Structure 1
Amino acid sequence: MSHAIQYLRSLIFVGQMYLMMPIFGLVFAPWAIFSKKGARVCCKSYSRYVFWTARLLVGIRCEVRGTVPQGEVLIAAKHQSFLDIMMIFTALPTAKFIMKREILYTPVIGQYAKLLDCVAVDRGKRGAAIQKMVEDVEAGRQDAGQLIIYSQGTRVAPGAKKEYKVGTGVLYEQLNQTCVPVATNVGVLWPRTGIGRKPGTAVVEFLDPIEPGLGRESFMETLETRVEAKSDELMREAGFEPDGLHQNA
């Protein structure tokens, strides 16, 4: 019975979350169209609304740990579900994402991604996508902020293995910026697919920065080791044991 009640609460939560998305988008549109600040306030306000309703309806509490960077840095994050997107974006002062091009055609999300100057890449053309990503990022560097990239290129379920893409290493070299890794356990409570949500504490944690100057191979090894180790630790904290359960994502 308790599982059925939690599923019903999850269904209500997910339904109202997506219902409110276009409402927030429309309410803030007159400001957001003419101001990146307006677009950013809209997205953060919506995210905080989702955090509040997640705690109220399904028992998920959202917690950000570590030192949140304030300057112009590269953020290389673990990605498990829509929740970590909102938590990382809301924590950072002036963030924008590197994302797959298809998202630009998603209602509301796509329009606000454009307003925030997020960098869209074509994942089907790997080499060209990386070069275009670097060019787009460099072209927008006058707008200082935090550039977020998901190094595995997609949402990865807890316990699943997925290689770290070379694009993060290319950006690290080309931009010559500090990189801040981010670990998470949100997928344990808020899965990448499906309706069900589990109560608990969803965490994103900003880890020690990786300063510029490492070789690409050394950087990628350091990044993956730090993010995976901390994410496994956070998942265990949430009641999920990743060891021995790895499989392809």
Structure 2
Amino acid sequence: MIQYLRSLVFVGQMYLAMLVYAILYTPFAIFSRQAAYNAVRAYSKYVRWSARWMVGIRTEVRGDIPDGEVVIASKHQSFLDIIMIVSVVKRPKFIMKSSLRYAPILGWYALRIGCVPVDRGRRAEAMRQMMKGVTAGDAPAGQLIIYPQGTRVAPGVSMPYKMGTAIIYEETGQTCIPAATNVGLLWPRTGIRRKPGLAVVEFLPPIEPGRERFDFMTELEDRIETASNRLLAEGGMPIDTRPAQADKAS
């Protein structure tokens, strides 16, 4: 009960802090995209800091921090892996579901830093939207973050990888940086209660451009799942993968 109450207070202040950071940074972010990057990075660092002392979640980012124009293909378990990646990369931008553009504060900042909204309900149209947003001449340079499974997936649950990552990898000709995580052990995809422990996001060795599509996807899935399972085991979770129900809320 005590941990639940601490978690409730933490979640409440986290969203209040989002409002405070928006008030402080928006007058500058309107005129400067760099100010928008500074805002989301500062907020993400604050969430990591407050999670440590309020609910006991320590966070660690491993591996070489991606820089330049690359595609980051990451395991996605909860909002925390987003926070951790944004807190360390210089110019993050995401493939995000279209409805998030209307979210207060979050939606405006997402568009300001170059996130690409996609309507996932229509597959063919979603792919066109995605590629148009990624390759547009006015798209800001930076680190494009995509979730190959398309949604949040609970630890130990198996879900197929989608081909959108391979298409972006081929069309952009950019290096792909796989990323693994175990954050879902401590910060679940739904619910309030946070658990104390060490949450890790690990950037893995890059997959260079030029790989054939099927070979790329096989390599990507193997690297991410193997590393994520290792991190889950490190966090004390026995690995027992099973089919998943898609998390439509992601």
**TM-score, length basis structure 2:** 0.95
Q: Is the contact between residue 113 and residue 140 of structure 2 (CA under 8 Å) also seen in structure 1?
A: no
Equivalent residues in 2 for 1:207-218, closer than 5 Å: 207-218=204-215
What does residue 37 of structure 2 align with?
40
Q: Distance in 2 between matches of 1:195 and 1:142?
A: 36
What does residue 143 of structure 1 align with?
140
CA displacement 1:73-104 (0-9 Å, x = unmatched): 11100000001001111111111111110110
Please state how far the C-alpha of 1:247 moved relative to its aligned partner: 2.9
What does residue 99 of structure 1 align with?
96
**Residue 109 (1) aligns with residue 106 (2):** yes
Q: Tell me which of 6, 21, 26 is aligned to 1:24.
A: 21
What does residue 195 of structure 2 align with?
198
CA displacement 1:97-140 (0-9 Å, x = unmatched): 11110110111110101111111111011112112211211114
What does residue 84 of structure 1 align with?
81
**Residue 9 (1) aligns with residue 11 (2):** no
The change in CA–CA distance for 1:90 and 1:49 in structure 2 (over 3 A counts) is: same
What does residue 223 of structure 2 align with?
226
Q: Distance in 1 between matches of 2:59 and 2:172?
A: 31
Q: Tell me which of 213, 227, 248 is aligned to 2:244.
A: 248
The change in CA–CA distance for 1:246 and 1:84 in structure 2 (over 3 A counts) is: same
Uncovered stretches (5+) of structure 2, i.e. residues with no partner: 246-250
Secondary structure of the equivalent of 1:153?
coil
Secondary structure of the equivalent of 1:204?
strand
CA displacement 1:157-187 (0-9 Å, x = unmatched): 1111111111001001111111000000000
The amino acid that maps onto 2:49 is W
What does residue 187 of structure 1 align with?
184
Q: Is the contact between residue 66 and residue 205 of structure 1 (CA under 8 Å) also seen in structure 2?
A: yes
Q: Distance in 2 between matches of 1:102 and 1:226?
A: 31
Secondary structure of the equivalent of 2:41?
helix
Q: Distance in 1 between matches of 2:117 and 2:140?
A: 16
The amino acid that maps onto 1:225 is D
Percent identity, please.
56
Q: Distance in 2 between matches of 1:102 and 1:47?
A: 22
What does residue 156 of structure 2 align with?
159
Q: Distance in 2 between matches of 1:240 and 1:127?
A: 38
Uncovered stretches (5+) of structure 1, i.e. residues with no partner: none
The amino acid that maps onto 1:227 is I
The amino acid that maps onto 1:95 is P
Please state how far the C-alpha of 1:142 moved relative to its aligned partner: 6.2
Q: Distance in 2 between matches of 1:231 and 1:182?
A: 8
CA displacement 1:213-249 (0-9 Å, x = unmatched): 1111110110000000100110111111222x42313
The amino acid that maps onto 2:243 is Q
Q: Distance in 2 between matches of 1:155 and 1:210?
A: 23
Secondary structure of the equivalent of 1:227?
helix
CA displacement 1:2-21 (0-9 Å, x = unmatched): xx111111111111111211
What does residue 74 of structure 1 align with?
71
Q: Is the contact between residue 74 and residue 148 of structure 1 (CA under 8 Å) also seen in structure 2?
A: yes
Please state how far the C-alpha of 1:71 moved relative to its aligned partner: 1.2
Please state how far the C-alpha of 1:27 moved relative to its aligned partner: 1.3
Answer with 39-48 or 185-194: which moved more.
Answer: 39-48
